[in-house]
Chains A and B, each alone.
Chain A
């Protein structure tokens, strides 16, 4: 498994201009490049694969300069957003393509194709043509084709963007499982930050042809480096926790010591997020349908003219601080006489918590 380094990479291709891209991906890491569509992410991936020559800069794999090396000698796997399966070959022939080029013996070929077909659950599709497959099936076939040759780096260009939400979730789990199993160094490009957070060990945010921030998902969301990153990321309340289902049928997300009532089908380790607009601040108790009511202390107020962001630290979070940001009107800020240090309660519905 290879480490990847991009050193002062500059790419000019048509209308895409990427300037001074510096990136480092550790061996076996799952790295996400996050950015709006059309930011040149595909071109960057293609350059790493050797399909384009950069204007300046270097691409290193395992410390070796491969900038001048043609793609067929880099052992870098590529999965396009449109899957790019060869339409004139069957699924099995597609998967076997890379091995066949290497002159693998027919028995070994058959065995390895069968093995990876079983791993991805597509053995029943072997004799079909790509044109007859669904999006999810094509995606699995494309993954099989890329992984069977044991690449030292896997590049994926918006692999989930063309799929419907249900298929997206299953493929996402598939990718996660495969990565845990194979530990292939992966660079995955997307515009969907939820996808980024769910799969990425580290994320680089790209804006107008440059990397503007690199870090773990938590770092990006806790401390966005710029207005763009903050807006792009959108969520201000993001946390990790474990799903618990009690005998009554209530579902809770345990974040440290805090138990948040949620609505979800998922289980195990998950992420949760709440939009600041969905968090209500209140004095004392009121009876409502909101299942989540917590007491806390205001630790920050960000007055933005007509609106204000109020950050509340929950009392229930004993071991590790959990802050929830609420968005209120300026009027409410004044009416409730809110200030830093004040005791306050907040409430939000269980259904307002987005679990992913």
Chain B
């Protein structure tokens, strides 16, 4: 029984793919291993670090919530309705992905900044965006909303339109049909969009730093420590953030597969 000939095609692809995987894994691994557990613990105890991490999580959560309330209806319209300018709207939703994030930050300042129309208006209500948490929230919202809207849209598109129509003939109002049929069936897609958007918000730097250097979110903290004190001082925070992201990622994967198994 001769050995089957080597599959050169597959081998080439494996080598190319492995290069990329190595490219991600090596730097992350080195960073994690370079920091002693003791140092890691000290970093966690550092109030400034803890504060940054919690602020990042909190701000991204608010941004995600805002995107949920406005983005899910938009996603539904994009999935179901035809209207003039639909392609324009669709393109606009994807624009934040390609716009440089610092440029996005500048753009947001034009509206929400101290002299911008909304910035001025809302300052009367006590809402400040520059160098304040609300600014962080809108920066995160701007750059990562595409993930939620696209995921939700795909979720709705995957729902058979016949289902909503039958529900209507059975006596359901458009609201009822949405809540009882469309939304539950699209939920998996929407949920993954929510998780993706929140995770993406945690890592935002460019837009946030323009609107609010302070209070510092984790990416900004790492940057500041690197600029001010160098690699040695910045690395522990970076390691901590990487580990936290790994943890979140694993939890998300677990939730996704648990839901998959239950179906």
Query: 1/0 contact trace for A62-81 toward B, CB 8 Å?
Result: 00000000111011111010
Shortest distance in angstroms between A206's beta carbon and chain B's nearest beta carbon?
21
Q: Which of A46, A72, A98 has the most CB of B within 10 A?
A: A72
Residues of B within 8 Å of A287, CB to CB, are none
Q: How far is the CA of A84 from the CA of B167 in the complex (A)?
A: 10
Of all chain A residues, which has the CB nearest B177? A72
Shortest distance in angstroms between A243's beta carbon and chain B's nearest beta carbon?
38
Interface of chain B residues 165 through 213 with chain A (CB within 8 A): 165-174, 176, 180-181, 184-185
B: interface residue count bin: 10 to 19
Q: Which of B163, B170, B174, B180 has the most CB of A within 10 A?
A: B170
Shortest distance in angstroms between B45's beta carbon and chain A's nearest beta carbon?
47
Interface of chain B residues 134 through 187 with chain A (CB within 8 A): 160, 162-163, 165-174, 176, 180-181, 184-185
Residues of B within 8 Å of A46, CB to CB, are 165
Answer whether A101 and B171 are a contact pair too, CB < 8 Å, given A84-B160, A84-B162: yes
Cβ contact within 8 Å between B160 and A88: no
Cβ contact within 8 Å between B165 and A78: yes
Cβ contact within 8 Å between B160 and A72: no
Cβ contact within 8 Å between B172 and A77: no
Cβ contact within 8 Å between B171 and A149: yes
Secondary structure type dominating chain B contacts: helix
Residues of A within 8 Å of B170, CB to CB, are 72, 77, 97-98, 101, 145-146, 149
Answer whether A80 and B169 are a contact pair too, CB < 8 Å, given A87-B185, A88-B184: no
The residue from A71, A86, A88 contacting B169, defined by CB atoms under 8 A apart: A71
Q: How far is the CA of A84 from the CA of B168 in the complex (A)?
A: 12
Shortest distance in angstroms between A305's beta carbon and chain B's nearest beta carbon?
47
Of all chain B residues, which has the CB nearest A51? B165
Cβ contact within 8 Å between B171 and A78: no
Answer whether A82 and B162 are a contact pair too, CB < 8 Å, given A88-B185, A101-B172: yes
Chain A positions near chain B (C-beta within 8 angstroms): 46, 49-51, 70-72, 74-78, 80, 82, 84, 86-88, 97-98, 101-102, 145-146, 149, 151
- Listed A/B pairs (18) with beta-carbon separation below 8 Å: A46-B165, A70-B173, A72-B168, A72-B170, A74-B169, A75-B171, A78-B165, A78-B166, A80-B162, A80-B165, A82-B160, A82-B162, A84-B163, A87-B185, A88-B184, A88-B185, A146-B169, A151-B169
